[in-house]
């Protein structure tokens, strides 16, 4: 119950940050970008409440989850679940109670991966992972290793990943991520970890902007709890951190992230797909394209281009 409540509080904080940011950017593009995220966060908060109430009922009424009365109705589902088995939201909360001769039963995840990334070597990504299994898969001679966030139980962090070697020579490892970290990751900015940052992406900043020249949204959200201050000014300002160049073919943004100047993205002005530099690799997942920028200085970057909303999200 404590874990569920903590998770609910963390997600509510994320929602608050999102809404505060929204109130400072009164434009329609920003709204269309933020609404799906806000909706997702509200669902997570509701799930936390639901799980907590169920656990409360179980501890008060019965040791058997099937006998527990479920007094609230989940609006997202047409059925009115009265048991754990029938309620899809009750993922983690179910497992510890649905036992069979000491073995836990579980709900297999069916969600699409959040993103995936291929690397020539196994890299740290700055997060603490706990390995919970490995499996030989049919189409590969290499084992697939399964990890969940080390803060799954103390903070309810839902992030998971699996890593599998996909190529012998040159070696290539594919990491597939499920969900974002909601945990506080306090060691990320110390000196030791910053070395890792030079080689691997996925630090805290989610940069988001559309290709409307006058309307750059600097930050969408953060994967960590620390506030990240990065303001992108009008490109005519000499002190701006972002400059914008336009040609017939594409919009090209440069962002000066504190120390060095990076080419961030080239967005096609025809709204089809963004052009990329030569060292950019592209992955496609769930109708969203991920552009992996091989920057050679402080950051690697991952850009997500949503064709439906004609906007790009940078993950650095």
Residue numbers at the binding site for DNA (CB under 7 A): 95-96, 99-110, 129-139, 144-146, 150, 160, 162
Q: Which is nearer to DNA, 144 or 233 (CB)?
A: 144
Q: Nearest approach, Cβ of 48 to DNA (angstroms)?
A: 18
Q: Nearest approach, Cβ of 130 to DNA (angstroms)?
A: 4
Q: Which is nearer to DNA, 49 or 106 (CB)?
A: 106
Q: Nearest approach, Cβ of 96 to DNA (angstroms)?
A: 7
Q: Nearest approach, Cβ of 142 to DNA (angstroms)?
A: 12
Q: Nearest approach, Cβ of 151 to DNA (angstroms)?
A: 9
Name the residue among 117, 316, 308 with its Cα closest to residue 210.
Answer: 308
Q: Which is nearer to DNA, 36 or 171 (CB)?
A: 171
Q: Nearest approach, Cβ of 109 to DNA (angstroms)?
A: 4
Q: Which is nearer to DNA, 33 or 65 (CB)?
A: 65
Q: What angle do CA 237, 238, 244 make, to 5 degrees?
A: 65
Q: Nearest approach, Cβ of 54 to DNA (angstroms)?
A: 16
Q: Which is nearer to DNA, 1 or 18 (CB)?
A: 1
Residues in the chain: 316
Q: Which is nearer to DNA, 108 or 239 (CB)?
A: 108
- Residue pair 260/216 in contact by the 8 Å Cβ criterion: no
Q: Nearest approach, Cβ of 99 to DNA (angstroms)?
A: 6
d(CA 220, CA 313): 8
- Residue pair 273/307 in contact by the 8 Å Cβ criterion: yes
d(CA 46, CA 48): 5
Q: Which is nearer to DNA, 131 or 261 (CB)?
A: 131
Q: Which is nearer to DNA, 130 or 245 (CB)?
A: 130
Sign of the alpha-carbon dihedral angle for 46, 307, 280, 264 = negative
Q: Which is nearer to DNA, 71 or 102 (CB)?
A: 102
Q: Nearest approach, Cβ of 71 to DNA (angstroms)?
A: 25
């Amino acid at each position: 119950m404590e874990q569920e409540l903590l998770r609910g509080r963390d997600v509510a904080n994320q929602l608050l940050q999102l809404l505060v940011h929204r109130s400072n950017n009164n434009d329609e593009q920003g709204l269309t970008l933020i609404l799906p995220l806000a909706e997702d966060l509200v669902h997570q908060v509701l799930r936390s409440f639901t799980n907590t109430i169920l656990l409360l009922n179980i501890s008060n009424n019965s040791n058997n989850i099937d006998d527990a009365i479920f007094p609230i109705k989940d609006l997202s589902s047409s059925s009115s679940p009265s048991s754990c088995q029938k309620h899809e939201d009750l993922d983690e909360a179910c497992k510890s109670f649905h036992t069979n001769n000491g073995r836990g039963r579980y709900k297999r995840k069916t969600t699409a991966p959040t993103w995936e990334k291929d690397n020539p070597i196994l890299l740290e990504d700055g997060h603490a992972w706990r390995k919970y299994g490995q499996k030989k898969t049919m189409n590969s001679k290499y084992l697939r290793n399964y990890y969940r966030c080390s803060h799954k139980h103390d903070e309810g962090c839902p992030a998971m990943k699996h890593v599998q070697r996909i190529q012998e020579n040159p070696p290539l490892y594919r990491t597939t991520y499920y969900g974002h970290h909601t945990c506080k990751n306090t060691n990320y900015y110390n000196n030791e970890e910053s070395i890792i940052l030079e080689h691997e992406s996925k630090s805290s900043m989610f940069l988001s902007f559309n290709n409307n020249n006058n309307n750059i949204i600097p930050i969408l959200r953060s994967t960590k709890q620390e506030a990240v201050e990065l303001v992108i000014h009008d490109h005519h300002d000499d002190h701006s951190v972002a400059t914008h160049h336009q040609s017939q073919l594409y919009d090209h943004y440069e962002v000066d992230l504190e120390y060095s100047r990076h080419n961030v993205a080239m967005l096609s002005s025809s709204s089809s797909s963004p052009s990329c530099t030569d060292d950019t690799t592209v992955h496609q997942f769930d109708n969203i394209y991920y552009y992996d920028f091989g920057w050679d200085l402080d950051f690697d970057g991952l850009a997500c281009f949503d064709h439906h909303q004609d906007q790009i999200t940078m993950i650095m």
